[in-house]
């Protein structure tokens, strides 16, 4: 049998590292006034769009063991929605009026999450008869840990879009308050991730 | 990426991927949809696994396959299906004997 849960390709990891490095570079460049605020917004939002595209592209590939229940159809739909939304976000970041980039990009992003979330909630898990793999098996933990890594990225993007909306509607105070639930949710996901990796190592 | 293109270039393998879109299936159930020999089907499965387009698990006496395609690979599949994309140089006869042996283990 091939190992369905092998490590991600170096291309995938490289893509993620380059995007995160580029985002840090944009933040630093804006902080040191090397680029103006509008350009910083355009570049950062382009990177967020590419992150959404990349995470959406890989999501359907992170399959769970058959015994743990297949949600392939839901993942494929969500992946396609995120990829299309990512492309739309890049277009918005590059061509929308400077003062409206954040709001338009956020609406596109949040709509994609709402659509994918709705579809996921309606997708039924398919468990083949006889495929009684325990939910806490090592293979299941490995698969869940990998999925959770991508879900952490998606969660970060979702809250980023929410913070952008709060910032557009209520200013800095709104954005600051939106950070609180983001930190709580992200912290809980990170703790789950750590536990899953420990279980996966056995 | 070239291995993905090679895997998608064959209509039988494309049909296998289409069937797996409905959910995980056993090798036997998949083979029942094709009028080809077991070793030939095993070779097709081996190519798909090599390209990382399907995941396989042994459950009891059955080998269960499930789809493992990124959105981009899914788009390539749609493209290949639409344009009847086929490469002659990677017909089943050209599949290495080791790949067929490995898939039968």
Give the global pTM: 0.83
Q: What is the CB neighbour count within 10 angstroms for residue A47?
A: 22
For B2-104, the fitting CATH number among 1.10.486.10, 1.10.10.10, 3.30.930.10, 3.10.129.10 is 1.10.10.10
Given an 8 Å threshold on Cβ–Cβ distance, is A73 in contact with B69? Answer: no
pLDDT, tens digit, 9 for 90 and up, residues B6-64: 899 899 999 999 999 988 899 999 999 999 898 999 999 999 999 999 998 888 888 98
Q: What is the DSSP pairing of strand B54-59 with strand B25-26?
A: unpaired
- CB burial class (10 A; 0-12, 13-18, 19+) of residue A4? buried
**Domain range summary for chain B, segments of one domain joined by +:** 2-104
* Rounded Cα–Cα distance for residues A69 and A133 (Å): 9
Interface of A with B (CB under 8 A): 1-2, 4-5, 56-61, 63, 65-67, 70, 72-73, 76, 79-80, 82-83, 126, 128, 130-131, 133
pLDDT, tens digit, 9 for 90 and up, residues A115-156: 999 988 887 666 555 555 545 567 777 777 788 888 889 999
Which of A3, A55, A72 should we substitute to test contact with B (largest number of B Cβ atoms within 10 Å)? A72
């Amino acid at each position: 049998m091939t190992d369905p849960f092998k490590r991600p390709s170096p291309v995938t990891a490289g893509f993620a590292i380059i995007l995160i490095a580029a985002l840090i570079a944009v933040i630093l460049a804006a902080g040191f006034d090397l680029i103006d605020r509008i350009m910083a917004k355009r570049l950062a939002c382009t990177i967020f769009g590419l992150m959404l595209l990349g995470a959406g592209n890989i999501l359907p590939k992170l399959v769970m063991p058959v015994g743990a229940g297949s949600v392939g159809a839901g993942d494929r739909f969500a992946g396609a929605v995120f990829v299309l939304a990512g492309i739309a976000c890049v277009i918005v970041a590059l061509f929308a009026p400077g003062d409206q980039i954040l709001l338009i990009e956020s609406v596109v992003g949040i709509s994609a999450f709402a659509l994918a979330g709705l579809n996921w909630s309606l997708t039924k898990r398919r468990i083949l008869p006889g495929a009684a793999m325990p939910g806490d098996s090592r293979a299941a933990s490995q698969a869940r840990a990998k999925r959770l890594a991508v879900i952490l990225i998606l969660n970060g993007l979702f809250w980023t879009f929410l913070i952008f909306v709060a910032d557009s509607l209520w200013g800095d105070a709104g954005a600051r308050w939106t950070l609180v639930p983001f930190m709580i949710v992200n912290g809980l996901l990170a703790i789950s991730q750590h536990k899953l990796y420990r279980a996966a190592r056995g | 990426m070239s291995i993905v293109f090679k895997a998608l270039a064959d209509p039988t393998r494309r049909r296998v991927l289409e069937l797996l879109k409905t959910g995980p299936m056993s090798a036997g159930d998949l083979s029942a949809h094709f009028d080809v020999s077991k070793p030939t089907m095993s070779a097709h499965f081996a190519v798909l696994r090599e390209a990382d387009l399907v995941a396989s698990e042994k459950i009891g006496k059955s080998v269960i396959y499930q789809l493992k395609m990124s959105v981009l690979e899914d788009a390539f599949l749609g493209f290949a299906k639409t344009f009847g994309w086929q490469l002659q140089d990677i017909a089943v006869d050209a599949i290495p004997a080791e790949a067929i042996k490995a898939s039968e283990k």
